[in-house]
Amino acid sequence: MSDSICLANARLVLADRIVTGSVTIEDGLITEITEGDHIPIGATDCKGDYLMPGLVELHTDNLERHIEPRPSVDWPHRPAILAHDAELASTGITTVFDALRVGSIHDGKARYDPYARSLANELLEVRAAGHLRISHFLHLRAEICSETLLEEMAAFGPADRVGIVSLMDHTPGQRQFRDLSALKTYVAKKRGMNDAEFEVHVENLKALQRKYGAQHEVGAVAEANRYGATLCSHDDTTAEQVVHSRENGVRFAEFPTTLEAAEACHANGIAVMMGAPNIIRGESHSGNVSALDLARAGVLDIVSSDYVPSALLLSVFRLNDVWDDLPRAVACVTRNPASAAGLTDRGAIASGLRGDVIRVGLAQGAPLLRGVWSRGARVG
């Protein structure tokens, strides 16, 4: 956290407009916003680049990718955490909810062992030591189709910075994996399953859902409330599933798979989040609804980098191509995710908020990140 900095002669992306001006950050907070192209003595001349709030990331698999860069390769955790943190800072993300799976399967070729509690301990220790560049919270991905969900969730509490709990029901034949061929392609590549092993895998997951599904869902909702975390749904497909999400107290929906579900979310007061890679590619890699179609329909609120951190900033300019409204596009990766997660101290360039800002130029229409500040300290 720096004492004082001034970023001047920038195009400030405010909540509802873009103005030329400067931003002063003192002791980690935005203290002054001034319009005009004047450059005070000692200020950084942004030369007309955009100045935006730091990006807020609610769902990323990036930490898991650093921990396990190849199947069954367990990379040293602390270096992986630091590399993950540095990578996100280098893409303009200043707040992240690190997604960790809770709920394991002990047997079979698709077994998943518990890891979230121990990894969270290491992440929180690195944070407490002051070694992280950006702000980290936890996002627990509650796997309904598992054997140990509730006992793993019981190991977390209100002091663990669990900001989000997502209800993940990956039962084959519904939601993301309505098309079993898509699931087969995914697990065959990741787990090396043959046809017979895949059939066993499908039946095992269905059996787990029948045995534990209802109690796991109820228990996960209760644990989220105990943590004080925001609850979100995952891969809603039908209007009926969205109504059920609302009854559980869900505040935002991760990656609804159909336009029907996204429209139902808005009708039920649930914000819609889609993946930036879907926006960049123009389609879902799983064959589900295009995020651009949701944007055109007016039912896209939040964007997550998902599995490509650098896609988050790029998605802003892709959405601006659709809406011709840069503040609206920027809100999808700043103010809206911050609000959905209950964070009121960031997500906009406004006096009194955290000094999390990014400087962005353009190179042939692509964003060129020229600076990242977290609480006024330059981190990228």
The strand pairing partners of 271, in sequence order, are: 252
Residue 283 is predicted with a pLDDT of 81
User: Is the Cβ–Cβ distance between 304 and 254 less than 8 Å?
Assistant: yes
Residue 190 is predicted with a pLDDT of 60
Angle value at C-alpha 67, between 61 and 71, nearest 5 degrees: 90
Q: With b meaning 16 or more CB within 10 Å and e meaning fewer, what string describes 82-99?
A: eebbebbbebbbbbbbbb
Distance CA 295, CA 86 (A): 30
Q: Give all domains of the chain, ordered by start, each with its CATH number.
A: 1-53+346-380 (2.30.40.10), 55-62+90-341 (3.20.20.140)
Q: Is 378 exposed, middle or buried (0-12, 13-18, 19+ CB in 10 A)?
A: middle
Residue 287 is predicted with a pLDDT of 77
Residue 71 is predicted with a pLDDT of 79
Q: Give me the torsion for CA of 64, 66, 67, 73, rounded to 10°.
A: 110
Distance CA 316, CA 3 (A): 30
Q: Is 369 exposed, middle or buried (0-12, 13-18, 19+ CB in 10 A)?
A: middle
Residue 104 is predicted with a pLDDT of 86
Residue 365 is predicted with a pLDDT of 86
Angle value at C-alpha 65, between 59 and 69, nearest 5 degrees: 175
pLDDT in tens, the chain (380 residues): 557 999 999 999 999 999 999 999 999 999 999 999 999 999 999 999 999 999 999 999 899 999 999 878 899 999 999 999 999 999 999 999 999 999 888 766 566 789 999 999 999 999 999 999 999 999 999 998 888 999 999 999 999 999 999 999 866 655 666 666 666 566 665 666 677 776 776 777 777 778 887 899 999 999 999 999 999 999 999 999 999 999 999 999 999 999 999 999 999 999 999 999 999 998 887 778 999 999 999 999 999 999 999 999 999 999 999 999 999 999 999 999 999 999 999 999 999 999 999 999 999 889 999 999 999 999 99
